[in-house]
Amino acid sequence: MLSINSRMLIAATITLAGFLGVTGITLENSFRVNAEAAMKERLQLQLHTLIASMDQDDDGGMTLAYPLYEARFFTQDSGLYAEVLTNEGRPVWASPSMAGVHIPLHSGLARGEQRYEYLTISTGETVLAHSIGLTWGDNDSAREAYTFVVAETLQRLHDEIAAFRKNLWASLGTVAIVLLVMLAVILRWGLAPLRRVADDLGEIEAGHHLELKGEYPRELRGLTDNLNALIRSNREHEERYRASLGDLAHSLKTPLAVLRGAVDASSQAADGIRSTVEDQIERMDQIVGYQLQRAAASGRKALAAPVDVEQLVTRVVTALKKVYAEKQVEIAVDVLPALSFHCDEGDLMELLGNLVDNACKYCRHRVEIGLRLEAVQGQSGLLIEVCDDGPGISEAHLPTVLERGGRLDTQANGHGLGLAMISDIVALYDGHLEFQRSRLGGALVAIWLPGN
């Protein structure tokens, strides 16, 4: 696939060629029109000079009373011709340059009538002829009516146009080459930050750097910041997996030691061994479940798609109403329609699921859920509030419920991991977790997650 530099050069070349081509054709046509107009003005001037230099003789012919200053009139095959004819078409005077040349002229022009026409002379060349009808003196008789003609071949005009065309296209070609070279230099300079990003990514892949370093232009800062955020997110995922595996191995040592001791103790009754094994298996199940959930938490992601908060809350509430159908819990939801938030959908589902599940588990009859965007210290974020009409949580018991496996009510089903999992996810997002007394009398759990 072509590089950005190559694509822009190709596009610029095509655009420049089209622009300069149209410019060249326009200038050439304009020069041709102006050259033809100049030729007509020159012929008109020479015709007026011819008329001023002529005089009528006694025989009704024409003679030069004053010399013509254009030497080509007196040079054979010079391409510049002059002739005077009567209205009957009889030549009465011709310039020496017309020796052996016949021009099919139109005579009999009325007094003051002028005509420009392209004619083919006897030599096969094309000339531009300028004619005017005159009467000599004040007499309008046909006997003293003449047609004065000056003609010039187009070779000189064609040579001028050819020379202009050659210089024009040579100049435009030079300008095009210079502009393309300058554009290539500008593109190389302008795209240098992208090449630096690619080089820095190669350094990261080689393990020489942990993230993109250096200053980048404002247009690339969003890209580089998101790439760094993505790199940090992946690195944090790896660290969490390694930490979770280490914690899992360390946490399982104690229940395994208890099981080994129970089996080795020959004096312990079978019922006591069974009870010990069941307790330790349940504890190991809790530990494994917690560490798997902790490792799977995504945390803040760069370029995360917005999550439809209203739709997600509806899914959570619908599922928990079925779970607590016998308890007939009344769940009230206050969320703005079309509310969205940039985060991992699984993390938000885990937060809401655990919060609402705990509220339904410990409430008496009613649970209220509120979600809205709220700014904290000038930064916008998502505020989640879940409250119930249950017994609530005292400040003395907060450290217990935030520990993994910590539970105040050992009779209720569950592993006691919900609030600890919530605390870990909130920490991943650099958010805030608060416990208060709700207006319903039970607990109010408030979570604020900063926006991207």
Q: Is residue 179 situated within a structural domain?
A: no
Number of domains observed in the structure of the chain? 3
Direct distance between the N- and C-terminal alpha carbons of the chain, in angstroms, rounded to an integer:
34
Helix (H) or strand (E) holding 153: strand 145-153
Gap between the Cα atoms of 413 and 282, Å rounded: 12
Same domain assignment for residues 36 and 133? yes
Same domain assignment for residues 248 and 370? no
CATH number at residue 129: 3.30.450
Residue 440 has pLDDT above 90, yes or no: no
Same domain assignment for residues 260 and 319? no
The b-or-e profile of 245-261 (16+ CB within 10 A means b, else e) is eebbeebbeebeeebee
Same domain assignment for residues 225 and 341? no
Q: Is residue 195 situated within a structural domain?
A: no
Considering only residues 40 and 57, tell me which one the structure prediction assigns the higher pLDDT.
40
Q: Find the angle CA(388)-CA(394)-CA(400) to the nearest 5 degrees.
A: 105
Residue 190, phi-psi category: left (phi > 0), alpha (psi -120 to 50), beta (remainder): alpha
Same domain assignment for residues 148 and 228? no
Helix (H) or strand (E) holding 80: strand 80-86
Give the model's pLDDT for residue 253: 59
Structure tokens given for 300: 């803040």
Residue 39 has pLDDT above 90, yes or no: yes
Number of Cβ atoms within 10 Å of the Cβ of 356: 25
Same domain assignment for residues 129 and 26? yes
Range of the domain at 65: 4-160
27-36, 169-178, 283-292: segment of lowest average pLDDT: 283-292
Gap between the Cα atoms of 76 and 95, Å rounded: 9
Q: Is residue 184 situated within a structural domain?
A: no
103-107, 151-155, 404-408, 421-425: segment of lowest average pLDDT: 404-408
Q: Give the end of a domain, one of 137, 160, 183.
A: 160
pLDDT of 84-135, one tens digit each? 988 888 888 999 998 888 888 877 788 888 999 999 988 889 999 999 998 8
